[in-house]
Amino acid sequence: MVQNIFKGIKAYPSALGLIGRLGLWKYFAIPVLISFFTAVLIILFAWSLRDPIADIIDQIWVWQWGADWFHSLAEILGGVLIIVLGLIVYKHIVMALSAPFMSPVSEAIERHFLGTQHIHRKTSNTAQLWRGIRVNVRNLTLEILITIPLLVLSLVPGLNIITTVVLFLVQAYYAGFGNMDYTLERHYGYKESVQFVKRHKGVAIGNGIIFTMMLFIPFIGVLLVLPLSVTAATSQTIGFIENKK
């Protein structure tokens, strides 16, 4: 799996040139706007929740001694919770709504590498949007169910380093999953696609690692994250599909 993680990462350097050669930038205009405005809304919403979440966490500590220390800890935990959940919600909203625009990008890249005879099937914009919503609702639910226990475990001294790494890898996996599915939807049904990504989870994690890291680059990261990550994921995914055939 480690080798596939590096494959997912190494696909990014060539992604920018491929976008230019195939003239794909025109497909990214609306997804970039979706990405930008979704990020702004989530940041504003998260900022408004910062103090209420800290106050809720504060209620756990019922003693007077150490109350100031625990309040400071509650503010930190509240901030971490907001960042983690904000990233989770952001990426799934953007991926679901961008599906009708990302699928043509994925198809153009597949046609470039394999030719038109390898395009398995064409789907409508409505079908692509519904597929994107279905996949991302499923992934959002599972990711939150995994994330919450990890956040609780991060309160245990000594475990926070491990849980931080695991949380990052979980975020990366589901980001890569969404990027790979823009290609998989032309080749496999919903359940088959889930199994495909599980078999190639290393590539999904590698793709998602760069995806997640780019979100921490102010402004530019939010604008470029989808074009680069989808292009990188597509080039890797079609290779695995052809190898399976």
Task: Answer for the pair 223, 97: CB distance below 8 angstroms, yes or no.
Answer: no
Question: So what's the pLDDT on residue 45?
Answer: 80
Task: Answer for the pair 228, 214: CB distance below 8 angstroms, yes or no.
Answer: yes
CA distances from 149 to 57, 94, 111, 196, 211 (A): 15, 25, 43, 26, 23
Question: So what's the pLDDT on residue 113?
Answer: 83
CA distances from 171 to 125, 222, 227 (A): 27, 16, 18
Question: So what's the pLDDT on residue 61?
Answer: 65
Question: So what's the pLDDT on residue 165?
Answer: 92
Tokens matching residue 38: 């979704």
CA distance 6 to 241: 18
| Number of structural domains found in the chain | 1
- In a 3-state reduction of DSSP, which class is residue 219? coil
Task: Answer for the pair 12, 231: CB distance below 8 angstroms, yes or no.
Answer: no
Specify the range with the lowest mean pLDDT, choosing from 40-49, 60-69, 138-147: 60-69
Give tens-digit pLDDT for 74-90: 777 777 777 778 888 88
Domain residues for 33? 2-244
**Of 110, 112, 55, the residue nearest 78 (C-alpha):** 55
Please name the residue that has the structure tokens 């939150």: 144
Question: So what's the pLDDT on residue 244?
Answer: 65
Question: So what's the pLDDT on residue 234?
Answer: 92
Q: What is the DSSP secondary structure assignment for residue 12, as one 8-state letter?
A: S
CA distance 222 to 219: 6
Give tens-digit pLDDT for 121-131: 666 777 788 88
CA distance 87 to 171: 8
Specify the range with the lowest mean pLDDT, choosing from 6-10, 66-70, 114-118: 114-118
State the chain's maximal CA–CA distance in angstroms.
Answer: 72
Task: Answer for the pair 178, 230: CB distance below 8 angstroms, yes or no.
Answer: no
Identify the band that residue 117 occupies on the pLDDT scale cut at 50, 70 and 90: low
- Give the residue-averaged pLDDT of 41-68: 72
Reported pTM: 0.84
Question: So what's the pLDDT on residue 71?
Answer: 67
Whether the pLDDT of residue 41 is over 60: the answer is: yes
Task: Answer for the pair 58, 71: CB distance below 8 angstroms, yes or no.
Answer: yes
